[in-house]
A and B are shown apart, each in its own frame.
Chain A
Amino acid sequence: MVSIIQIFLVFLKIGAFTFGGGLAMIPIIKRELVSRGWISEEELADYIAVSQTAPGMIAVNIATLVGMHLRKWKGAFFAVLGIVLPSLVVIMLIATGLKEFAEIPIVVSALKGITLVVVILLAFAIFDIGKNAIKDIITLLYALLCFSLVFFLDVPTTLVILLSFVLGTLRAFILAKKARKKL
């Protein structure tokens, strides 16, 4: 069984390296969790889907789900504690002393470099989750449709998720009908 301390430490590490939003963290989360054998790639893809759909921040939601999966409530609690602790400490330090932190030239430069890594992380996230999510021509077209909706038409992501639920429900009914006809 995975120990609570291990769960806490792994999510502490993920929290400390979260830049550019939770989605960019997918390759790091995958590296830390899937290669340790804590969850499967399929489960990770499931958890990301739930994290996007439910309220809250994606990284925190993934921590909750994985912690719950490994060690129930205790695991979920310590995973979330681990992922928020770096924020608490770093922000309090900066708020006390360095209010112009974000304007220091060297910080701006370092951040530009990190943003380039975020580009790479997002590209790999597309591959990592894509392997599991794009199964046929319909899913491929749907991914392109969702991209176009948010990119060109500024449709809120919440509506995209809602659309997925509507289409999923429809597909379930259509498939059930087809199956009945075959009988």
Chain B
Amino acid sequence: MIELILLFIYVGLFTIGGGMVAIPLIQQEVVARGWLTLNEFISMVAIAQSTPGPIGINVATYVGFEHFGILGAIAATFGFVLPSFLIVSSLANLLRKHRSSSLVINWFYFIKAGIIGLIGYAFVKVVLITVISVDPVFSIDWIALLLLLVLTVIFKLLKKLPWLVIVIGAILGMLFL
């Protein structure tokens, strides 16, 4: 159990840039220890992606639960979150103190713009698995495109309730995809 917590503290510390970064790290550690086979791990990641919640947390919970039950699930998640919790909350205090220093202003100037590039990358990646396909030849999934337009209109109309649009998306998916 202690090994489990330490392992996830380590993973939490080296997850920089979001939960997806954690997946290969966890894979290496967990498969090498023989806690899960590679196949088990891959199907677990599929589950983590198809259930709500941050992907990294889902994987941590699963690994902990498989080996040590409910306590393991809680311990793995706790270990995973601990480093970032401590680091980020200290950063919050530092940020409050130094937000107007010229160095911080200029860091944010570039970081924020860079993040737009990263979100753009995530956007294109998701479009490429849902609507457009370029492999082996360029093709468009017209049903998905139509649903995308319908959902965009619904999203605009239900601006106050974005979570409801997720539910509607799931229902439309069950019906048409």
Contact = CB atoms under 8 A, between A and B. Distances in A.
B77 A133 contact: no
B84 to A, nearest CB: 2
A33 interface: no
Which label, helix, strand, loop or mixed, suits the secondary structure of the B interface? helix
A78 to B, nearest CB: 12
B28 interface: no
Contacts, number: 348
B142 interface: no
B54 A122 contact: no
B114 A55 contact: no
Contacts of B50: 101-102, 107-108, 111
Interface in B39-96: 43, 46-58, 61-62, 65-66, 70, 73-74, 77, 81, 83-85, 87-89, 91-93, 95
B20 to A, nearest CB: 7
B126 to A, nearest CB: 5
A126 B116 contact: yes
Interface in A147-167: 147-151, 156-158, 160-161, 163-165, 167
B88 A13 contact: no
Contact of A134 (B16, B18, B116): B116
Interface in A103-137: 103, 106-126, 129-130, 132-135
Contact of A150 (B48, B117, B147): B117
Contact of A172 (B19, B53, B89, B106): B106
A84 B174 contact: no
A56 B87 contact: yes
A119 to B, nearest CB: 5
B116 A50 contact: no
Given A57-B57, A65-B88, A112-B130, A161 B16 contact: yes
Given A57-B55, A171-B106, 18 more contacts: A17-B166, A19-B52, A21-B19, A49-B108, A49-B111, A49-B115, A57-B18, A57-B22, A68-B93, A91-B51, A110-B174, A111-B173, A114-B170, A117-B165, A133-B112, A150-B121, A161-B16, A172-B106
Interface of B: 12-22, 43, 46-58, 61-62, 65-66, 70, 73-74, 77, 81, 83-85, 87-89, 91-93, 95, 99, 102-103, 105-124, 126-127, 129-131, 144, 147-148, 151-152, 155, 159-160, 162-163, 165-166, 168-177
